[in-house]
Amino acid sequence: MILSRKTRDALGFFAFAAPWIIGFLFLTLIPMIASAYISFTSWDILTPPRWIGFDNYRLIFSDPLFIQSIRVTLTFTLIGVPLFIATALVLSMLLNNKLPGMRIFRTVIYLPAIISGVVVAVVWQWMLNPDFGMVNAFLGIFGIEGPRWIFSEDWALPSIFLLTLWGVGGNMVIYLAALQNVPTEQYEAARVDGAGWWARFWYITVPGISTVLLFTVLTGIIAALQVFTPALVMTGGGPNNATLFFAFHMYRNAFTFQRMGLACAMAWVLFAIIFVISAIIIRGSRDMVHYASDDGGSI
């Protein structure tokens, strides 16, 4: 039997796409459908699920710990994401200069971004130990008595901010690549016209890397809303639930209290929050993001 070229191309496409299709089907789509069903049940893993309708969703919004987890997660997102992006952008602009040894500095700053999150959390747990940690020992050199960090209700969340900045090298590399694609002629023309460094940054650099900024803002917010590892490894929710992130609260409901139905409902609430925030950002960025056109300009 001789197959037509169109049929052979179609079979070839599905043969190469089959691993992704199978993975998406069995590791994403079917689990999502199952979790949607489980969210309407009461299930402790050991006994069959029992249909309870919207009771899990009602319980979520009446739970004081849910409100606390939302507060902690949104606080971390609103402060941590801009801080992370600003730090990465400043570093990328500094490392964009053509100076001797710059490649070494780029490598050193990027290396922490490739280390496992669990390893980083354990390292920072030791560094922030109030009794023998490296951070307080360093502050002691200058006669400063360091705080109790992860053991303090006021300092537990700022401790997570410090850990987050440890991996700033990933975004730094992305911004560095974007900066090198901004035409140097625009900076030269701006200098001739007498534009200062802030005018050049705001009117040339920011529009030139706006697509990358949009990408990192979106991915940063999505990652911040799902923070889990630092809360589990470093603080365990923190003193007085100071670091009770939403994802960690969901994990405890699922695997500590065996309330899988409630945990699945929380997962769908988190999905809805991420979807709405992402849609708002994408829609609101239409007039602020500049895309390169075929003639080298921007649209």
Q: Between 41 and 4, whose confidence is greater?
A: 41
Domains and CATH numbers, the chain: 59-284 (1.10.3720.10)
Q: Given a cut of 80, is residue 296 above it in pLDDT?
A: no
**116 band by pLDDT with thresholds 50, 70 and 90:** confident
Quick check: 55 and 202 in contact, CB under 8 A?
no
**281 band by pLDDT with thresholds 50, 70 and 90:** very high
Provide mean pLDDT across the span 147-169: 92
**128 band by pLDDT with thresholds 50, 70 and 90:** very high
The mean pLDDT value of the chain amounts to 90
Give me the pLDDT at residue 294, please: 46
Contacts with 195 (C-beta within 8 Å, 6 or more apart), sequence order? 203
Share of the chain above pLDDT 90, in %: 68
Q: Given a cut of 50, is residue 138 above it in pLDDT?
A: yes
Q: Given a cut of 80, is residue 298 above it in pLDDT?
A: no
Distances from the Cα of 269 to the Cα of 39, 129, 239, 288, 292, angstroms: 10, 35, 25, 29, 37
Give the global pTM: 0.88
**277 band by pLDDT with thresholds 50, 70 and 90:** very high
Provide mean pLDDT across the span 129-148: 91
Provide mean pLDDT across the span 41-57: 94
Give me the pLDDT at residue 10, please: 87
Number of Cβ atoms within 10 Å of the Cβ of 46: 6
Per residue in 171-230, pLDDT (tens digit) is 999 999 999 988 888 889 999 988 898 999 999 999 999 999 999 999 999 999 999 999
Provide mean pLDDT across the span 39-57: 94
Per residue in 232-252, pLDDT (tens digit) is 998 888 889 999 999 999 999
Give me the pLDDT at residue 55, please: 95
Q: Given a cut of 80, is residue 11 above it in pLDDT?
A: yes
Specify the amino acid at residue 60.
Answer: I
Residue keyed to tokens 């803002």 = 217
